[in-house]
Chain A
Amino acid sequence: MTDDGDISRRYRELAREEPPRHLDDAIRAAARRAVGTRPAPLVVPTGRQRWYFPLAAAAVIVLAVAVTLHVEREQPGEEIASAPPAPAASPPLEPRAEAQAQKPQSAPQPERRRKTESAESRELRDAAPPAELQKAPEPVPTLPPAPPPVGTQDAISSAQQLAKVEGAPPPVAGAAARPAPAPKASAQLRRFEGARSAPSLSASALQSPEQWLQGLADLRKQGRHDEADRSLAEFRKRYPGYRIPEAMLEKVEKR
């Protein structure tokens, strides 16, 4: 009969199986790795590392500000570029070139006329609603409105007729907001481009009475009395009720 001690003794005599070596190695390595991997230190790093975070934060802020400023600077330019062009502000260059090609003898004149035009008259012309252009899709070659030559009565009357036909109001002071002669009138006025003094009437038609009178005074000063007389006559027809100031009257009337 065996007792418990004998059973235990016999049991220990059995084969003493051991885990394989590779298993031992794997478990020991896992234990070493576990001890080696510690949580991140809660202490603030010292030395050079302590500048890493503030430096990175400053760099990010500077970059953000720079980008913001850059975007703000670029936006106005984009708005201008995206703004639709004024309807009659810039007549197409090609039609103008065609017109110049059709009338080579009068080619230099638009340049001269452009120089003599005042800024106001240019604005009036630019602001003119292109009624004809709106009706006809084909762009009408619009030269600067050529006024009738002051030197020819025909031109003056033609200009008057044109003004009546187009319903253009007489150029009075403060007429900037009103529509200027339509492009059709401009096309018809091209017939008078050959006249040397054409710009002056055009300018007069678009000028205010005061400016017109000042132009008259200039003509007198220059000794161009014939032109001045004609212009004065035209002025009186255009502004029959206009009272010319005494000082100006001396300058514009025949001496």
Chain B
Amino acid sequence: MLAYGGGDAGAFETLYGRHRGRLFRFILRAVKDRGVAEELFQEAWVRVIESRSRYAPKARFSTWLYTIAHNLLVDHWRKKGLSLVSLDGEDAASESANPARQAEGREALARLLHALEALPAAQREAFLLHEEGGLSVAEIAAVTGAGEEAAKSRLRYAMAKLKAAVDDN
């Protein structure tokens, strides 16, 4: 990122190639809507580009990148009248369990994916940050702005629910 901030366009290519798939899936599985996911994905990279000269390597680039994505998700949920954190307990499982949604071409998703969609948003985000972003609990806490304990708890609950979903089948 520092190289790109210094004018090296090739450095951006490297960064983008490394993070594009993971970031896209993180967003897609968080919002569960491809159109919205593409929009937020593009906006996240635009912010990266615009912040190239102000970037300071205080943490890993992925932490900074997923922080941007997280903020975009928060804005997205806020616009929809929802709060990412408030969904810590009960989630919008009813929406994800909608058969019609499953019929929208999501046949490729396995039961795990179905269980993932059924997770509360905060837990799902913690899981996705861990799996797609490769972030540690501390980094998840930094990205989401939550305490480490809360991040650890969310990740643990997410894992437990996914295990239960897989074991049940």
Contact = CB atoms under 8 A, between A and B. Distances in A.
B159 interface: yes
Interface string A223-244: 0000000000000000000000
Interface stretch (B43-51, B62-70, B95-103, B141-149): B43-51
Contacts of A27: 16, 42, 45-46, 49
B52 A2 contact: no
Interface in B7-66: 7-9, 12-13, 16, 20-21, 24-25, 28, 38, 41-42, 45-46, 49-50, 52
A16 B162 contact: no
Contacts of B8: 35
Contact of B20 (A7, A14, A18, A30): A18
B131 A23 contact: no
A15 B112 CA distance: 11
Contact of B42 (A23, A32, A34): A23
B158 to A, nearest CB: 9
A31 B4 contact: yes
Interface residues of B, number: 32
Given A24-B20, A27-B45, A35-B4, A17 B25 contact: yes
Contact of A10 (B9, B52, B108, B110): B110
Given A10-B166, A19-B41, A31 B16 contact: yes
Interface in A46-78: none
B20 A19 contact: yes
Contact of B163 (A7, A13, A30, A34): A7
B101 to A, nearest CB: 16
A176 to B, nearest CB: 88
Contacts of A11: 112, 116, 131, 162
Most chain B CB atoms below 10 A, which of A7, A10, A14, A32:
A7
A28 B10 CA distance: 10
A26 interface: yes
B108 A15 contact: yes
A8 interface: yes
A40 interface: no
A15 B109 contact: yes
Interface of B: 4, 7-9, 12-13, 16, 20-21, 24-25, 28, 38, 41-42, 45-46, 49-50, 52, 108-110, 112-113, 116, 131, 159, 162-163, 166-167
8 contacts: A16-B21, A17-B25, A19-B20, A19-B21, A19-B38, A26-B42, A32-B12, A35-B9
